[in-house]
Structure formats: C-alpha cells, structure tokens
Amino acid sequence: MFRFFENLVDPYARHEVTDTPPHRLWPFLLSWSHPFKRVFALAGATSVVVAVIEILLIAYMGRVVNILSDGNPEAVLSDYGVELVVVALGILLVRPAIQALNVLLLNNAIIPNYGTLFRWRAHSHVMRQSVGWFEGDFAGRIANRIMQTPPAAGEAAFQVFDAMTYAVAYIVGAALLLSDADPRLVLPLLVWGVLYGVLIRWVIVRIGPASQAASDARSFVTGRVVDSYTNIHSVKLFAHHDREMEYGREAIENARIKFQEEMRLYTLMDIALTILNGVLTVGVVGWAIALWYAGSATVGVVATATALVIRLGGMTGWIMWAVSSFFRNLGVVAEGMQTIAQPIALRDTPGAGDLNLEKGEIRIEGLSHHYGKARGGLDALNLTVRPGEKVGLVGRSGAGKSTLVKLLLRFYDAEGGRILIDGQDIATVTQDSLRRHIAMVSQDSSLLHRSVRDNILYGDPSATEEQMVEAARRAEAHEFIPGLHDGEGRTGYDAHVGERGVKLSGGQRQRITLARAILKNAPILVLDEATSALDSEVESAIQETLYKVMEGKTVIAIAHRLSTIARMDRIVVLDDGRIVEEGAHDDLIAAGGLYARLWARQSGGFLELEAAE
C-alpha cells in the first residue's frame, strides 16, 4: 500500500530543462509542480470531503440531542435504531478510509517526492552553472539554499492540502450549517470571519518578507561558517580563532535579530487570535442561547452551534499557523530562488554539435577578456599552437596565463575574439565534448572526498583496474597509495582522501591528479603548475613521465619554475595580457628580453613573482 502511493510521482522523471527558470515565485512553483497536478487535485478533494464529513457529524450530533430530548429510550431505539447503526458504521468504516486516503496522499505521495523533486532539479540546475558563477558566491550558502528550499516547498504544499483547503471547506460548511439552523446565527460568524481575514492579511503581508530575510540571514551564517571550516588550516596557522569567532558571531547575531523580528509577528498574531476567538464564542453561542430562550431554536441547535464554535476556536490557531507557515515557507523558497532560479549564463549555442578533433591545432584570434573590468586578463591575443606542439606559457603573476587556460576550457565566454580547435570555434560546440578532449592538471590539486580509486577513475570511469594502477605508477603515486588508510578502516586505493583531499600531502594530491590526467589520455594536455607541490626528486621523475605523456599531444604548460618548460618546443611570454616574446628557450635567453630577466632572477628554480613595472 505504501509503495503504491510513494510511486505515484517519480521525482527523477525526465523533464524539459530550461536555462532560464521563471524568476517570479508563483510561475516558478507552478512549473516545478506540474508532475504533481493530479495528486494535488486528489489531495485537495479528499481534504474537502474530510471537512464536510466532520461538519456533517457535528450537525448530526445536534440531531441526536433533539432526538434524545424529544422521546423516551424505547421509542428512540425503535424509531431511530437502524439510522444510528448506519451512522456508526459510517464513522467506523467510511470516515477512516477517506481520512487514510487523504493522509497517504499527503504523507507518502506528496511530502517525500515533492521535496526530492525540488532538490534534484535545483541540484541539476546549479551543477550546470559555470565555474565563474560558483566563484562569485559562498559554496556553503549555495549548498544551504539547495538543502533548505526543497523541504520549505514541501511544507508549503502540505499546508495547502492539510490545513488551508480543509479550513476553507470547514468554515464554509459551518456557515451553511448555522444558516440552515437559523440564518441569524451566521451574522456573528461573518463578523468574526471579516476580522479573521484582516488578521490573516496583516500576517501574510509581513510574514513572507520577514521569513525571507531570516532565511537569507541563516544562509549567510552557513556561508561564513563553512568558509571558516574549509580554511581551517589558515585559521590555525595565523592564530585567528578569535577573529573567526567574531566573523561568525556577526552573522549569527544578524540571524538572531531577523528571527526575533519574525517571531514578534507570531506573538502579535496569537494575542489577536485569542481576542477574536472570544468574540466568536460569545457571539455565536450567546446568540444561540438567546434564540433558544425566545423559543426560536432547539436545544440541538444550541448544541450544534456550541460544538462548531469550540471546534472553530481550536482550529483558528492551527489555521493561522498553517497560513503563516505557508507564507513563511514561501519566503524560504523565494530566498532559495536567488540561487536555484538564476539563469544559466554560460550555455551551449542552439544546435551545438560535438567537437570533432582530428589534429589538435589550437588557434587563438584577437582574444580579449578582462572579467568585466577595464584591465587585467587578456588583450587582443593572437596565438597558434600547431598539432602536437608543446608550448610553455610564462609571465609575471596576473599576465593572463590562467585566463587563457580558463577560456580554452570555456569556463568563461571570451569578451572578444575566439578560440578555434581544428578550425571549430569552441563557442559553437558543446562544453562537454570540448572538455572531454582536454586533460588538465592544475596547481590547485583538490580531490573529491571519495576513495583514491574513484579520484583516479574520474579521468576515465571505464578504465580497468590494471589501467588505473598503471596510471598511478606513471604518476609516481603507486608507491604511497598502498600505505594509505582512513578512519573507517579502508586502506590503499579504497581509502577516502577527505574533503578536497585534505588527508593527503600536497605532493600526494598532485600525483593523484596527474594519474587522473594520464588515465584520461586526452589529445590536448594543459598543465598549470603541474609539479609545483612536488619535491625536486619526485619532480624529476614526474617530468620524465610527463614528457612521455606529452608525445603525440598538443600541450600548453604554465610554469613559474622555468626549468620545467625549458625543453618545450616554444615558449610564449605574456605581459599585461599580450605576447611580448616567443621562441625556444635558448633563443629567448640570447635575446636578453623579459624571459631572460625572469630566468636570471630565479632563486632555486622558482620565478620571482613581482608586480609589472
């Protein structure tokens, strides 16, 4: 039974993917709620039926009071015995069945799947964002929004069908029931309804923005806290415990203030609600007693009116809380939409095909990129890397080397010019096909918090165990991997490396990333300080391996340690986003230009990083 309802909606079902989700709340919710439209309709219908049954039960209790007050026990049993048995069976069998259907729809079909659908689609959308998009926000805040928005959306949906639909049906039914007993009994209910509506509107107008502000403050806390945890080595190294505590306290205090402002609204709401419930009780029950005293109403009418008022009084707090919870959760969803509804800025062009790489020629034409600023990055760069050529990129820090690599991988779209691989503009092919043909090892040798095996196989998930181990051997990593172990007792290639590979040394991380790139065996190889974390002995061994890996590939290598690229076919020297020199190592030394000066300033084989004159 449970499985049937749990499988009514598949949260992972294929859906139309859009690069520009609706940026307004209700269109956004409606577009993502489409798979649930039939389940929502059935849940709403059963909720109304449950409310109607309860109203009818209260009405029937009034009838029972009249029956018992107007006759003796023998006559009542004789005249109404069958009716009472039928009603009892309905209460014991029909009512639980409908209630069970309503609960199964809410608790098993909607709540687990609705939140899962939101989380899956949100994660799917965010994963399609560009590297630059992630660089512009806290990873913790992004993750927090992905985690808190789905349950908020699920809770909002639950309140609609568990409380709000039921409440509307109940209040309308109560009004009809009182009107049928005596139309004058509806008047105090109407007065109360107007005042209650005013209170709800007051709450709605304020609770959404207050909740959104509180949710945003909580996300900000998560962002700051995760930032401190991620950089805990720096925190400890510089002894900035107190500074980080203050940094976190500011965000936590702001979240407390925003939450206090939100809770003030609930306090005012509860006080006003208590007063309104008193008005409702005195108005309806008092009037019913007055009508009975005047002989215009029976004892059953008074009993019905009293039962309805007591029930409504008990429900009003629940209804108000449900309504405020609904809009509070909408505020959380609205705050989460700041992340999960942002359009995809870096997209494949319509009809983009796969990159067809045959030779591996890279041609850069008038390439400019300044990250939206006046200067920095690249400025009208022209460069051709012939098929199979090994080119080293050299320059001061900020000369544009890393920018060139990011544009080649299309982590950003160039602001001007273009890059062609085998004559194909990389902006016109799919990003995935482009990156499948490029292997990269960067100085930021972060790893996934998974096993060593998983990290190396990331280069080629279809590789065999033997191929994976051979790649590790070539990267000089196999010698230390068997000795690894983690806190769960896993060893060797099964050992987990910790977040970003924190359980390994810098040199170990870099050798595993090298193994990953070797296993990928892509025709274009990009090295960005690929051996920067290695000691001289290991680097020497790795260099020989890299030169073998480079055979037959088009290679672009960035290096501050100039000795690592001295054997390249050609060295390109960048300065302020432009090519100022290029040629073989010996020729550039003989020319006595910038490269020669950088070579002369090296100490221990490292490039002195200085600001451009």
348 in a domain, yes or no? no
Q: What is the pLDDT, as a whole number, of residue 602?
A: 67
The answer to whether residue 539 scores a pLDDT higher than 50 is: yes
Q: Which residue has the tokens 């690249």?
A: 378
pTM here? 0.74
Q: Which residue has the higher pLDDT, 386 or 14?
A: 386
* Residue 611: pLDDT band with limits 50, 70, 90: very low
Do 133 and 246 lie in a common domain? yes
CA 576 to chain centre: 38
Instruction: Flag whether pLDDT at 445 surpasses 80.
Output: no
Q: What pLDDT score does 607 carry?
A: 47
Residue 389 belongs to some domain of the structure: yes
268 with 410, same domain: the answer is no
Does 347 map to a domain? no
pLDDT, residue 606, reads 46
- Average pLDDT in the chain: 84
Contact by Cβ (8 Å): 602, 562: yes
**Do 131 and 24 have their domain in common?**
yes
Last residue of a domain, one of 305, 340, 375: 340
Residue 595 parent element (H or E): helix 594-601
Q: Is the pLDDT of residue 349 over 80?
A: yes
Same domain assignment for residues 106 and 178: yes
Three-state secondary structure call for residue 519: helix
pLDDT of 535 reads 66
Quick one: pLDDT at residue 368? 92
Residue 516 resides in a domain: no
Which pLDDT score is estimated for 5?
Answer: 93
Q: Which domain holds residue 562?
A: 353-437+522-613
Residue 607, in any domain of the structure: yes
Q: 422 with 532, same domain? A: yes
564: closest CA among 550, 579, 580?
550
Q: Count the domains in the chain.
A: 3
Which of 300, 316, 340 is at the close of a domain? 340
Residues 468 and 414 occupy one common structural domain: no
566 lies in the same domain as 473: no
453 and 424 housed in the same domain: no
Look at residues 340, 367, 400 and tell me which one is the last residue of a structural domain. Answer: 340
Structural domain contains residue 442: no
**DSSP letter for each residue of 244-312:** HHHHHHHHHHHHHHHHHHHHHHHHHHHHHHHHHHHHHHHHHHHHHHHHHHTTSS-HHHHHHHHHHHHHH
**The pLDDT of residue 534:** 62
- Element containing residue 131 per DSSP (H, E): helix 131-135
406 and 527 together in one domain: yes
| Rounded CA separation 47/99 (Å) | 8
Taking the C-alpha atoms of residue 557 and residue 295, their distance in angstroms, rounded to an integer, is 100
Judge residue 163's burial from the number of C-beta atoms within 10 Å of its C-beta, 0-12 exposed, 13-18 middle, 19 or more buried: buried
Q: What is the mean pLDDT of residues 508-527?
A: 89
**How long is the chain?**
613
pLDDT higher than threshold 60 for residue 476? yes
Q: Mind listing the pLDDT tens digit for each residue in 404-434? A: 999 999 998 998 999 999 999 999 999 999 9
How large is the C-alpha radius of gyration of the chain?
A: 35
Does residue 333 share a domain with residue 366? no
Which has more confidence, 534 or 197? 197
The arithmetic mean of pLDDT across residues 572-597, rounded, is: 90
Range 579-582, long-range pairs (CB < 8 A, 24+ positions) = 579/381, 579/382, 579/383
Whether the CB-CB separation of 612 and 396 falls below 8 Å is answered with: yes
pLDDT value at 179 more than 50: yes
Task: For the sheet with 416-421, list strands across it.
Answer: 378-385, 362-369, 416-421, 424-425
Same domain, 199 and 168: yes
CA atoms lying within 13 Å on the CB side of residue 403: 27
The CATH number assigned to the domain holding 432 equals: 3.40.50.300
Do 16 and 110 have their domain in common?
yes
Confidence of residue 613 (pLDDT cuts 50, 70, 90): very low
CATH code, 304? 1.20.1560.10
35-67 residue pLDDT tens:
999 999 999 999 889 888 888 887 788 778 778
For 240-269, the pLDDT digits (tens) are 888 888 888 999 999 999 989 888 888 888
316 belongs to a structural domain: yes
d(CA 466, CA 346): 38
Q: Does residue 562 belong to any structural domain of this protein?
A: yes
